[in-house]
Structure 1
Amino acid sequence: MLFNSYEFLLLFLPITLILYFYLNSIKMVTLSKLMLVIASLFFYSWWNSIYLLLILGSMIFNFIIGRSLGKTASKALLIFGIIGNVALLGYFKYTDFFIENFNWVLSKDVDLLHLALPLAISYFTFQQIAFLVDNYRGEVKEFSFLNYSLFITFFPQLLMGPIVHHKEMMPQFALKWRSILRWENISLGLFIFAIGLAKKTLIGDPLTDYAQYAFDNAQKLTMIEAWYASTSYVLSYYFDLSGYADMAIGIAKMFNIDLPKNFNSPYKARNFADYWRRWHMTLSRFLGDYIYKSLGGNKNIVWIIYLNIMITFFVSGFWHGAGWTFVVWGLLNGIFVVMAHMMKKANLEMNFYVAWFLMFIGLIITRTLFVAKDFSDAWYVTKTMFNPMNLKFEGLVYIDPILQSLYLAIALILALGFKNSAQIAENFKPNIKYTLYTIVLLATSLFTFSSAKEFLYFQF
């Protein structure tokens, strides 16, 4: 079920809210949590009910391992639990990738399995690995399967994050005041949701439509078309993913639950290290806490620190997709982050605008590896962007210059010149002005639902 759908916005969300707070109002707190878990599993299984057994099995496995780790901090048990999670993710996400490379290296012809990637498996796997490690460290204080189920399945953040810790979300459900309907949180949550919905449907989707169409014909693009396509994709990715995060945070707020911020104006960063502190912040936090710090973090000699950064970004690239383009994308980001750290260590500082420009160009170039079908297309687009021999102003087939320029201008102005959603929400007041803002954003977004598109990160 998509957030940007009539059935979600007009049926599922209001019914779930009403039932949750009604059950809490008559002191049936346990039943309200159970209802929320069932509703979340229904939400998850809307696409394909067969994967319901998968997520339930994964939850039972991790809860048993986690509870055991809470009683005895066994490193062997922790490793077993992590391997189990990675194996499940690896089977569905990477089996065909390994078969393809096996066939290529040994000139074999093993058939691919063509496994469908279960929805949200990358996210709930990481969240459960974090749960196991937190248990091993003694940071989880209670063990209720109902609460654990709610922690994993809570539908606002189930599909694409933010990735949360048990200790930062579940204590909120235990607070009595959070079980009571609070209209100020309903109005604030709806306002944040409306911002995210508008970002996704009114800006992200049109930019994605053009970028995907252009990259489907990557080898035919001119210099201008290559720039428009690559820049459109960079901006669409931000508005799509941050739009989802806003919607998730807004919905959770309606339930009186605070989810962590996931984006902090990443395109205002001046280098890649700063960018990754602002982009998909809970994923960066996970990789930092459980990969980078596990390797020793910044407590080693300089070249080991840089190696740890590269390993962390290798994992990030491989997590994003089962393909060498994603791995190279991760490594390139790692190189740029290392360069930022080297410049800081050497006390070298660029002009702010020059630094920002180089960072943004780097984003555009590296992001082509995300959208391109293969290295050939990615290389062609990158090369064409800097090929003045392919500069044409007439006969542009894969671009409407006026319309696309308008979308790009609006997206850049919003991403660079305005406050982000979290900053805007800080000034929210449940008054007529913000009510009108909410109504306008929701109403305009509703007109796009007939052609609603999935979120880009669903494929990861």
Structure 2
Amino acid sequence: MLFNSYEFLFIFLPLTLILYFYLNSLKLITLSKTMLVFASLFFYSWWNIIYLPLILGSMIFNFYIGKSLGKKANKSMLTFGIVGNVALLGYFKYADFFIENFNWAFNSQTPLLHLALPLAISYFTFQQIAFLVDNYKGEVKEFSFLNYSLFITFFPQLLMGPIVHHKEMMPQFALKWRSYIRWENISLGLFIFAIGLAKKCLIGDPLTDYAQYGFDNAQKLTMIEAWYASTSYVLSYYFDLSGYADMAIGIAKMFNIDLPKNFNSPYKARNFADYWRRWHITLSRFLGDYIYKSLGGNKNVVWIIYLNIMITFFVSGFWHGAGWTFIVWGLLNGLFVVFAHMMKKANLEMNFYLAWFLMFIGLIITRTLFVANDFSDAWYVTYTLFNITNLKFQELYHIDAVFQSFYIVLALVLALGFKNSGEIALNFKPNLKYSLYTAILISASLFTFSSAKEFLYFQF
């Protein structure tokens, strides 16, 4: 079920909210949590119920491992739990990748499995690994399977994050005042949701149309078309993913739950180190806490610190996709982050606008690897971006240059010149002005629901 769908906005969400707070008003707290878990599992199963046993089995496995770790820290048990999670993720996400490389290396003909990637498996796997590690450290002791199920399945953040820690979300459900409806949170949550919905439907999707078609026909692009496609994708990717995060945070707010911020105007960054502190913050936090810091973090000599950064970004690239383009994308990002640290250490500082321009060009080049079908397409588009001899414009997919330029400029102005949704929400007041803003954004977005697109990050 998509957030940007009629069935979600007019049936699932209001019905779930009403039932949750009604049961809480009767002091049926356990029943209200149970209802919310079942509603979340229904939400998850909307696409394909065949994967429901998978997430349930994963939850049961991790709950009992975590429960054991909570009673007695055991490194072998922790290792077993982490390996089990990684094995599950690896089987569905990376089996064909390893088979393809095995076939190439040994000239073998091992058939591919062609497994469909279960929705949200990367996210609920990471969240459960964090739960196991936190239990091992003694930071959380969860002995209620109902509470644990709610922690994993809570539908606003189940599919694409934010990735949360048990200790930052579940204590909120235990607070009595959060069990009862608060209209100020309903209105604020709806406002944040409306911003995210508009980002996705009114800006992200139109930009995605040309970007995706452009990269599907990468070898036909001219220089100008390559810039249109690459810039459109970089911007659509931000508005699509951050739009989801806003919607997730807004929906959770309606349930009186505060989810962590996931984006902080990343395109305002001046270098890649700053960019990754602002982009998909909870994923960066997970990789920092459980990969970078476990390698020693910044408590080593300089070259080992840089090596730790590269390893962390290698993991990030491989997590994003089972392909060498994703691995190179991760390593290239790591290299740019290392350069940023090296410049800081040497007290070198660029002009603000030049630094931003180079960062954004670097972002376009790295995202080309992210979206391209293979290295050949990625190289062609990157080369064409700077190939003056190919400076011509031909119609591709009936592209209207004025129309596409409008969306690119609008997206750049909003991303660079305005406050982000979190900053806007700080000034929110439940009054007529903000009610009108909410109504206008949702109403305008409704017209796009008939051709609603899935979120770009669903493929991960």
TM-score (norm. length: structure 2): 0.99
| Corresponding residue for residue 184 of structure 1 | 184
Q: Please give the alpha-carbon distance, in whole angstroms, between the structure 1 residues aligned to 2:138 and 2:21.
A: 32
Matches within 5 A, 1:276-355: 276-355=276-355
Q: Which amino acid aligns with 1:243?
A: G
1:439 matched to 2:439: yes
Q: Please give the alpha-carbon distance, in whole angstroms, between the structure 2 residues aligned to 1:143 and 1:229.
A: 50
Q: Please give the alpha-carbon distance, in whole angstroms, between the structure 1 residues aligned to 2:20 and 2:395.
A: 54
Matches within 5 A, 1:43-62: 43-62=43-62
Q: Please give the alpha-carbon distance, in whole angstroms, between the structure 2 residues aligned to 1:313 and 1:41.
A: 32
Matches within 5 A, 1:415-430: 415-430=415-430
Q: Please give the alpha-carbon distance, in whole angstroms, between the structure 2 residues aligned to 1:459 and 1:267.
A: 23
Matches within 5 A, 1:48-447: 48-393=48-393, 395-398=394-397, 399-447=399-447
Deviations 1:323-346 (A, max 9, x none): 000000000000000000000000
1:42 matched to 2:30: no
Q: Which amino acid aligns with 2:408?
A: L
Q: Please give the alpha-carbon distance, in whole angstroms, between the structure 1 residues aligned to 2:208 and 2:326.
A: 19
TM-score (norm. length: structure 1): 0.99
Q: Which amino acid aligns with 1:81?
A: G
Q: Please give the alpha-carbon distance, in whole angstroms, between the structure 2 residues aligned to 1:400 and 1:445.
A: 22
1:14 matched to 2:14: yes
User: Where does the alignment leave 5 or more consecutive residues of structure 2 unmatched?
Assistant: none
Q: Which amino acid aligns with 2:396?
A: V
Q: Please give the alpha-carbon distance, in whole angstroms, between the structure 2 residues aligned to 1:286 and 1:217.
A: 35
What is the Cα deviation at residue 192 of structure 1? 0.2
Q: How many residues align?
A: 459
Tell me the SS of whatever aligns to 1:210.
helix
Q: Please give the alpha-carbon distance, in whole angstroms, between the structure 1 residues aligned to 2:58 and 2:159.
A: 15
Q: Please give the alpha-carbon distance, in whole angstroms, between the structure 1 residues aligned to 2:241 and 2:392.
A: 33
Q: Please give the alpha-carbon distance, in whole angstroms, between the structure 2 residues aligned to 1:142 and 1:451.
A: 42
What is the Cα deviation at residue 16 of structure 1? 0.1
What is the Cα deviation at residue 141 of structure 1? 3.3
Tell me the SS of whatever aligns to 1:156.
helix
Report runs of 4+ in structure 1 exceeding 3 Å deviation: none
What is the Cα deviation at residue 106 of structure 1? 0.6
RMSD: 0.6
| Corresponding residue for residue 29 of structure 2 | 29
What is the Cα deviation at residue 239 of structure 1? 0.1
Q: Please give the alpha-carbon distance, in whole angstroms, between the structure 2 residues aligned to 1:330 and 1:392.
A: 32
What is the Cα deviation at residue 240 of structure 1? 0.2
Q: Which amino acid aligns with 2:159?
A: L
Percent identity reads 86
Q: Which amino acid aligns with 1:342?
A: M
Question: Do the aligned residues in 1 keep the contact of 2:66 with 2:142 (CA within 8 Å)?
Answer: no
Deviations 1:361-415 (A, max 9, x none): 000000001111000000000000000000014x333532111000000000000
What is the Cα deviation at residue 143 of structure 1? 1.8
Q: Please give the alpha-carbon distance, in whole angstroms, between the structure 2 residues aligned to 1:33 and 1:362.
A: 46
Tell me the SS of whatever aligns to 2:68.
helix
What is the Cα deviation at residue 61 of structure 1? 0.2
What is the Cα deviation at residue 308 of structure 1? 0.2
Q: Which amino acid aligns with 1:111?
A: P
Q: Please give the alpha-carbon distance, in whole angstroms, between the structure 1 residues aligned to 2:388 and 2:369.
A: 22
Tell me the SS of whatever aligns to 2:295.
coil
Q: Which amino acid aligns with 1:133?
A: V
Tell me the SS of whatever aligns to 1:359.
helix
Deviations 1:80-117 (A, max 9, x none): 00000000000000000000000111111111110000
Deviations 1:37-58 (A, max 9, x none): 0000000000000100000000
Q: Please give the alpha-carbon distance, in whole angstroms, between the structure 2 residues aligned to 1:446 and 1:341.
A: 45
| Corresponding residue for residue 450 of structure 1 | 450
Q: Which amino acid aligns with 1:36?
A: L
Q: Which amino acid aligns with 2:269?
A: A
Q: Please give the alpha-carbon distance, in whole angstroms, between the structure 1 residues aligned to 2:43 and 2:59.
A: 16
Q: Which amino acid aligns with 1:343?
A: M
What is the Cα deviation at residue 207 of structure 1? 0.5
Question: Do the aligned residues in 1 keep the contact of 2:273 with 2:341 (CA within 8 Å)?
Answer: yes
Q: Which amino acid aligns with 1:309?
A: I
Q: Please give the alpha-carbon distance, in whole angstroms, between the structure 1 residues aligned to 2:283 and 2:195.
A: 22
Deviations 1:27-83 (A, max 9, x none): 000000000000000000000001000000000000000000011110110000000
Deviations 1:168-192 (A, max 9, x none): 0000000000001000000000000
Deviations 1:195-219 (A, max 9, x none): 0000000000010111000111100
Q: Which amino acid aligns with 2:388?
A: P
What is the Cα deviation at residue 142 of structure 1? 3.4
Q: Please give the alpha-carbon distance, in whole angstroms, between the structure 2 residues aligned to 1:215 and 1:327.
A: 19
Tell me the SS of whatever aligns to 1:261.
coil
Q: Please give the alpha-carbon distance, in whole angstroms, between the structure 2 residues aligned to 1:51 and 1:390.
A: 47
Moved more, 74-83 or 138-147: 138-147
